[in-house]
Structure 1
Amino acid sequence: MLERTHAPPAARPGALLLRERAEAALRDAAPALLAYAAVRLTGLLLLTVPAVATGRDVLGLLSRRWDAVWYTRIAEHGYGFEIATPDGVHSNLAFFPLLPALERVLAALTPFEAATSGLLAGWLASLAAAWGIYAVGARLRGPATGVVLAALWGAYPTGFVQSMAYTETLFTAFAAWSLYAVLTGRWPAAGALAVLAGLTRPTAAALVAAVVVAAGVALVRDWRAGIPPAVLLRLHRPMLLGLLLAPLGWLSYMLFVAARRGDLLAYFAVQDAWGNGFDGGRALAGFTAETLRSNTLAGLGLCAALALVFWLLRLCVRQRQPLPLLVYSFAVVAVSLAGSGYFGSRPRLMMPAFPLLLPAAVVVARQQPARAALICAVAAVASGVYGAVTLLGPGPP
């Protein structure tokens, strides 16, 4: 008598459909992820060769320098550490908690220590960011533009930070996918991703502004079209949920620091002790003027770089980018340039504003594939050389 066997249960149609969609999305994004990985591997190679030749530890350069040390210390010991300097008392409360939390989790689940876990988190986040950037570019201007946009973001002048245990890649991943969710009408997802971004970097204020402004404009437009308020609220429940969620991550950390210090504005006091504050650009103007006086060539280069940023913003407007992208880019640039502090970090602070590269990505994507690949390769080498010089030098980025 044959033994009766039971066939495995069939996959649920919903789960199967979700898996098929995920696989299709990954296939679509594969060229962008490969292009981005090639750009970043080029940068790592250009760093590794001189580092090994001079006896430097490559992993140490990427995971145990500058801000990465502060994140690792938070992961290992929590908040509460301060260090006194001639400029003031620097507290680790200036650093947002999500990356240290990921470092702690990965260190518990893998053989890696916290510093290496931060590097792993950053590398995985960089791929997620490249995927999100591709998704935005492909939706607006087609797959070829999406691929080029991801590659150009990897070849950003301070793109070497994308290979470090820093928060830029993690934040950009959340920001890109949140903006994509807004563009596709997935408001709860946009708000939830903004919450995670708000636990990653203070720059999340720019992303929150993008979500809130986009939702507000849509609500006002429908209200002016004559839709009764009660109907409007019912029709836009998902949008309202995303709008309400968006600021919660950023606000929760502000309140955490406030509770630790007993001062509602304590986070801004912590930043001020680091020399970081908002002055409307006065410090930048003074720094530019001083640089022109002390080193005319360097000053002219700085002016050219600032002019390039504003020209790119103008191109984004002329390109008629969707409102959420424009608000996000303008806000990131404003937050990065309108404050005091160390000016060498400004290019890094603006790196999450990937829509600034969309006009260039459109132009490059129109070229013959070989020429487009050559342009991206040249940009990758230039970025890699700059990164190697910076990381092997005194820094900081």
Structure 2
Amino acid sequence: MSVSAPPRPVEVPRRPAVRRPVFAWRPGRADREVLWLYVLTRVGLWTTAGAARWLFPSDDQARNPASFLSPWQQWDWWHYLHIAQDGYFPDQAGPWTAGWDNREAFLPGFPLTLRAVHAVVPHWAAAGALISFVAGGVAVLALARIARRHLPDPDAGRRTVLFFLLSPCAVFLAAGYTEALFLALALPAWLAAQRRNWPAAGALACLACSVRVTGLFLVAALVLHFALTTRGSRAWRAAPWLCLPALSPVLYSWYLEAGTGDWMAWKHAQERGWYRDFHAPWDAWANTWNAAFHHLHPTGYALMWQAELLAMLAGVILLVLLVRGRRWPEALYIGLTLWALGTSYWYTSIPRSTLLWWPLWIGLAAWSHRRPRVLTVYLCVAAPLATTVALTFLTGRWAG
């Protein structure tokens, strides 16, 4: 008796791989929780700003508070506003003009966005606040999605965003500054790179380079990530997309050369206005230490320089942990950032730059998953610090 052979299995054709968009049009439940947390923290910051204009008026005898948006119009905001209103060299003024404000030290991405939004929102400060609000929402969504790709914790996205939004310098995410807009471009660029969507990564990184010079460090990390993860000659055809971000600094340098005759006008403005000429790292540390602890400056400035030192230490620790974990692209990004910030005459704006260190917030979320008390300790310490820094900035004092 013969036994017939079993029938051959029917081969089901595989579906072609579909490239997922950087952002889905409809946010999922986890995304909505992140956005809800984002909105709540915005309410808290704006409540703090409202209290500041009543409690700390510039005139101690004032009977009426300042305008609703006035607390947000501080320090670098005026540079961005003047560029958006008048351009970089109004009435043929420039570095050759006495009392020049060195505005060419600020890249054009945020002022151009501000000018565009002002066409719809007539009030300049409201336009700046709207940019940061929308950009901050995009940034936290991207940060949460990056965290969920790295961490096994189902609550990883919300936990990471909580650390981020309650960080000591979180007020700058709501101000008319570049941090929120940069992150709204840089984090989706990194997320696109994780998904091998190199055209999107290159285009977003190009825009990020127009907002902050930190975009160049992001590009270096993207290139290293591409080199470490790409296999096969066909995949390497996407490499030219990572040349696209060079367009932003080249065009800006060309524009500055046309206006000033100096291709390096951006760097020279940084040196004139903010002492960002090169010094050895140990000299920068010593100069910052002297400013922080040798009673050479008012106490408010001294405290901020102490914060600069702490932020630098945190960055070095983060860099060591990334190297130990062999997360080479993120380590390159952090290393280049620390080198740029740590080789000036003294440290400036390092605490604010921690907002751009997404591996820090993901790392804290991972640590708190293993040790739940980490989150409790962080909230008890960071929340008061965040309120203090917010009040410092909103009342016109130097806050980094």
Q: Shared fold (TM-score greater than 0.5)?
A: yes
Are residues 47 and 316 of structure 1, via their aligned partners in 2, closer, same or farther at CA, if it must alter by over 3 Å? farther
Aligned counterparts of 1:395 and 1:51: Cα–Cα separation in 2? 17
Q: Secondary structure at the match of 1:276?
A: coil
Contact 1:39–1:151 under 8 Å retained in 2: no
In the alignment, the residues of structure 1 paired with residue 362 and residue 348 of structure 2 have an alpha-carbon distance, to the nearest angstrom, of 24
Mean alpha-carbon deviation: is it higher for 178-187 or for 370-379?
Answer: 370-379
1:69-218 matches, within 5 Å, as 69-81=78-90, 89-110=100-121, 112-142=122-152, 143-218=154-229
Q: Closer, same or farther in 2 for the Cα pair 1:306/1:328, shift >3 Å?
A: closer
Cα distance in 2 for partners of 1:371, 1:350 equals 19
- Paired positions, count: 363
Query: What is aligned with 2:60?
Result: none
Alpha-carbon shift at residue 175 of structure 1 (Å): 1.1
- Specify the code of the residue in structure 1 equivalent to 2:330: L
Say whether 1:315 aligns with 2:347. no
Structure with the higher fraction of residues in helix conformation: 1
Amino acid at match of 1:354: W
The amino acid that maps onto 1:253 is Y
Whole-Å Cα distance in 2 between the matches of residues 40 and 313 of structure 1? 30
Q: Give CA deviations for 1:136-193 in whole Å, capped at 9, x if unaligned.
A: 1111114422212112111221111111000111111211111111111111111000
Number of the residue aligned with 1:288:
288
Where do residues 1-397 of structure 1 align in structure 2 (5 Å cutoff)? 22-54=24-56, 55-62=65-72, 64-81=73-90, 89-110=100-121, 112-142=122-152, 143-218=154-229, 222=231, 232=233, 234-238=234-238, 240-274=239-273, 275-291=275-291, 294-295=294-295, 303-321=309-327, 323-340=328-345, 343-366=347-370, 372=375, 375-376=378-379, 379-397=382-400
TM-score by length of 1: 0.80
- Unaligned 5+ residue runs, structure 2? 1-18, 57-64, 297-301
SS of corresponding position for 1:247: helix
Percent sequence identity over aligned pairs: 24
Cα offsets for 1:27-51 (capped at 9, x unmatched)? 3311122223333432332332232
Q: 1:85 to 1:294 in 2, by over 3 A?
A: farther
Letter in 2 for 1:331: L
More displaced, 91-100 or 21-30?
Answer: 21-30
- Matched residue type, 2:108: P
Output the TM-score relative to the length of structure 2. Answer: 0.80
CA deviation after TM superposition for structure 1 residue 134, in Å: 0.9
